[in-house]
Chains A and B, each alone.
Chain A
């Protein structure tokens, strides 16, 4: 399977705990994106990487959120001191860097977070 892989698929945690999600993009894709989606809404941009460099981060993202892509391959998204409002589907997507605006996003199946 050469698609985008996310782990875990589901995470239930108590308020105040830390959680970490992992994303393995399509191997030849240089760009990796994190989005958050709640019921009835479109995906909300969180951050994106070009190789290992984090190029953009949403202003809506609090300091409790951090993302890394240390070797330009897989990425992790950590949420510290989770709050009930963090409950959402966290989507990872990757995109080829062909220097063209036609580079589409390929999404993983998502990691669903429930904060009790």
Chain B
């Protein structure tokens, strides 16, 4: 079992719709959870982090964490073509190491 799993996609949504990205992790001792966006040929950039159960909202983005289910998600409301990218879920453990999932490729269709 991989440490961090994501659907590879591509996930296609129409412009203005809600995009839902999911991530599961195997290490119950994981402390913090991050969503990074990576455009093709570019480096990852942080969108959001979350470390408490529940929802965290920042503009059009909402991160959701359920530690009991070892599940974290990212919702993107009012999706725009500029949101088309690969979204990486990253999990930080006690050892301060960040483990990344394979990423989900999102395509927002105009």
Taking beta carbons and an 8 Å cutoff, which residues of A are in contact with B?
A: 31, 33, 35, 40-45, 48, 50, 55-56, 91, 101-102, 104-105, 107-110
Contact between A31 and B96 (Cβ–Cβ < 8 Å)?
Answer: yes
Q: Are A91 and B43 in contact (CB under 8 A)?
A: yes
Chain B's closest residue to A58 (CB) is B97
CA distance A44 to B88 in the complex (A): 12
Q: Is the CB of A105 within 8 A of B88?
A: no
Say which residue of B43, B49, B97, B101 sits within 8 Å of A42 (CB atoms). B101
Identify the closest chain B residue to A35 (Cβ): B100
- Quick check: A45 and B98 within 8 Å, CB to CB? yes
Residue picked from A45, A91, A105, A107, most chain B C-beta under 10 Å = A105
Q: Which residues of B contact A (CB under 8 A)?
A: 4, 6, 8, 31-32, 34, 36, 42-46, 49, 51, 88, 90, 92, 95-103
Smallest beta-carbon distance A60→chain B, Å = 12
Report chain B residues within 8 Å CB of A110.
43
Contacts of A55 in B (CB 8 A): 95-96
Contact B100 A42 (CB under 8 A): yes
Cβ-neighbour of A102 out of B32, B42, B95, B100 (below 8 A): B32
Contact between B43 and A107, CB atoms less than 8 A apart: yes
List, in ascending order, chain B residues with CB within 8 A of A33's CB.
98
**Is there an interface contact between B45 and A107, defined as CB atoms closer than 8 Å?**
yes
B95 close to A56 (CB less than 8 A): yes
- Point out the residues of chain A lying under 8 angstroms from B45, CB to CB: 107
Q: In the bound complex, do residue B92 and residue A101 qualify as a contact, i.e. CB atoms below 8 Å apart?
A: yes
Give me 10 A-to-B residue pairs in the complex whose CB atoms sit less than 8 angstroms apart, sorted by A's number: A40-B103, A42-B100, A42-B102, A43-B88, A45-B98, A55-B96, A56-B95, A101-B31, A105-B36, A108-B43
Find the A residue at minimum CB distance from B33: A101
Q: Which of B42, B44, B101, B102 has the most CB of A within 10 A?
A: B44
